[in-house]
C-alpha cells in the first residue's frame, strides 16, 4: 500500500473485551463503508454473542488505523484444539461463529481499499507478536459469490506463507424482485395446492390469522413460544432442539429484543384455535430477509409451516425486500420455494512449522474425528 495515507498507519491488537466495547462507534462506521456490511458482522451481534457464552472467550481482534480513522478490523477469538489427544493447538476462529446462527464471516475494511487492507490483515497474522498466539485458523461460511467474499479469498491467496485447504459449502437465496406480489402463482403446482388446502382446513376450524410481532409486544414471551414450538417440531422429527443448545438460547434472549428496537426483527406467528401454532424468526438488514429459526405444532393441521412461509414471502415482497435468504445448506424444501444454490467456502489455514506438518500431509479438518476443540 504505497500512498501518503499509509505513513501514519498503526496496527493494534485487542485482547480485552473492554477495548472492544470502546471500538463500537468506529466499528459501525467502518462496517457501513465495507464490502461486507451484514448483520452478522454488526457490533451488537458480536457483543450479544460474547455475553451469551458459558465460558470465557479470549478475543484477538486486529485493528488497522491511520491518524484520521479506523481502516480495517479482523475479529478473531482463540480456541484450543487437540489432535488425536496428542498435540495441543491454538486456533483463531471468527467471532460469533458458534451458538448464534452467524454466517458470512469476513474482515471489515474500507471498500475502496478492500484488497490492500485484507492482504495487510492476513500478512499481519504472520508477524512475530501475533504468530505465537495461533497454529491454525478455522474460517467458516465465506460468501464467496459476493464482492466481499471474493476479495477475502483473493487477498488470502496473495499472502503465500499462509497455507490453506478450502471446502465448498452451500447456501440458498431467493431473489424476490422477479416474483409477483401474490407469490402463489410463482410456486410449483404441488406447493400451491398444499398451501390452498391447508388454508381451507384452517378456515373450517375457525378464524385464524398471521401476525407480526411489534416493538411494544412482549418479545420475550413470543420468543419463548418459538422455543417451545421449535422443540416440539424437531422432537417430532427426532432431531436436535434448543434444549440441547443453551448458549444459542441465551444469545437469542439477548439479541432478539435488541433487534426489535433496531427495527431488524421479523417475528411472525400463525394463530388458530386460540393458540399460536407456528412461528418464524428472521431479520431484515440491508434489504435482505434472513430466515433464522422456525417452529410449528406437528399435532395441528399439516402444512401450517408452508402457509406461514407464504405469508413471510408476501410480507417481504410488500416491504420491498430484494432477497429472501435461507442461509446455510441447500435443501429440496428450499428449492421448492424457488431458492437458488450459492457456493460459499470454509477455510482451514495454517503457517508452516513442524507442529503443522500433519495439515500438509493430509486434509485434516477441525470438524472431524481427529482435530477437536478441548
DSSP 218-239: -HHHHHHHHHHHHHHHHHHTT-
- Residue ranges in the chain whose pLDDT is less than 70: 1-7, 236-243
Whether 267 contacts 256, CB under 8 Å: yes
Residue 355 burial by CB count (10 A; 0-12/13-18/19+): exposed, middle or buried? Answer: middle
Task: Determine whether 133 is exposed, middle or buried from the number of CB atoms within 10 Å of its CB (0-12, 13-18, 19+).
Answer: middle
Predicted pLDDT of residue 311: 97
Separation of alpha carbons 291 and 173, rounded Å: 10
Task: Give the pLDDT score at 240.
Answer: 57
Q: What domains are there in the chain, each with its CATH number? A: 4-169+343-373 (3.40.630.30), 177-321 (3.40.630.30)
Picking from 226, 303, 299, 308, the residue whose alpha carbon sits closest to that of residue 270 is 308
3-state DSSP of 134-185: CCEEEEEEECCCCHHHHHHHHHHHHCCCEEEEEEEEEEEEEECCCCCCCCHH
Angle in degrees, CA 96, 278, 197, rounded to 5: 135
User: Are residues 117 and 110 in contact, defined by beta-carbon separation less than 8 angstroms?
Assistant: yes
Give pLDDT, residue 244.
75
pLDDT of residue 1: 44
pLDDT of residue 125: 98
Q: What is the DSSP letter of 339?
A: P
**pTM > 0.95: yes or no:** no
Facing residues of 108 across strands? Answer: 73
Amino acid at each position: 500500500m504505497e500512498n501518503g495515507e499509509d505513513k501514519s498507519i498503526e496496527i493494534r491488537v485487542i485482547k480485552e473485551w473492554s477495548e472492544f466495547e470502546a471500538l463500537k462507534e468506529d466499528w459501525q462506521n467502518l462496517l457501513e463503508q465495507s464490502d461486507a456490511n451484514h448483520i452478522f458482522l454488526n457490533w451488537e451481534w458480536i457483543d450479544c454473542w460474547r455475553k451469551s457464552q458459558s465460558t470465557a472467550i479470549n478475543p484477538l481482534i486486529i485493528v488497522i488505523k491511520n491518524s484520521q480513522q479506523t481502516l480495517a478490523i479482523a475479529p478473531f477469538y482463540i480456541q484450543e484444539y487437540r489432535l488425536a489427544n496428542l498435540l495441543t493447538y491454538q486456533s483463531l476462529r471468527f467471532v460469533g461463529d458458534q451458538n448464534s446462527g452467524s454466517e458470512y464471516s469476513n474482515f471489515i475494511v474500507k471498500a475502496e481499499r478492500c484488497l490492500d487492507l485484507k492482504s495487510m490483515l492476513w500478512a499481519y497474522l504472520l508477524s512475530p507478536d501475533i504468530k505465537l498466539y495461533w497454529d491454525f485458523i478455522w474460517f467458516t461460511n465465506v460468501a464467496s459469490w459476493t464482492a466481499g467474499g471474493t476479495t477475502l479469498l483473493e487477498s488470502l491467496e496473495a499472502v503465500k506463507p499462509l497455507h490453506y485447504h478450502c471446502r465448498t459449502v452451500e447456501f440458498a437465496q431467493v431473489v424476490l424482485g422477479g416474483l409477483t406480489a401474490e407469490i402463489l402463482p410463482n410456486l410449483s403446482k404441488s406447493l400451491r395446492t398444499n398451501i390452498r388446502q391447508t388454508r381451507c382446513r384452517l378456515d373450517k376450524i375457525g378464524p385464524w390469522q398471521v401476525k407480526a410481532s411489534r416493538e411494544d409486544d412482549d418479545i420475550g414471551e413470543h420468543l419463548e413460544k418459538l422455543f417451545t414450538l421449535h422443540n416440539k417440531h424437531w422432537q417430532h422429527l427426532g432431531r436436535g432442539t434448543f434444549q440441547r443448545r443453551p448458549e444459542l438460547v441465551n444469545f437469542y434472549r439477548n439479541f432478539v429484543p435488541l433487534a426489535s428496537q433496531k427495527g431488524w426483527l421479523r417475528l411472525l406467528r400463525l394463530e388458530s384455535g386460540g393458540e399460536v401454532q407456528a412461528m418464524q424468526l428472521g431479520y431484515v438488514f440491508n434489504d435482505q430477509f434472513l430466515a433464522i429459526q422456525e417452529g410449528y405444532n406437528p399435532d395441528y393441521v399439516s402444512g401450517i409451516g408452508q402457509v406461514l412461509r407464504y405469508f413471510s414471502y408476501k410480507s417481504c415482497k410488500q416491504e420491498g425486500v430484494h432477497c429472501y435468504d435461507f442461509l446455510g445448506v441447500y435443501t429440496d424444501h428450499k428449492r421448492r420455494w424457488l431458492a437458488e444454490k450459492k457456493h460459499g467456502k470454509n477455510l482451514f489455514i495454517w503457517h508452516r512449522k513442524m507442529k503443522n506438518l500433519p495439515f500438509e500431509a493430509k486434509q485434516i479438518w477441525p470438524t472431524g474425528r481427529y482435530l477437536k476443540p478441548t
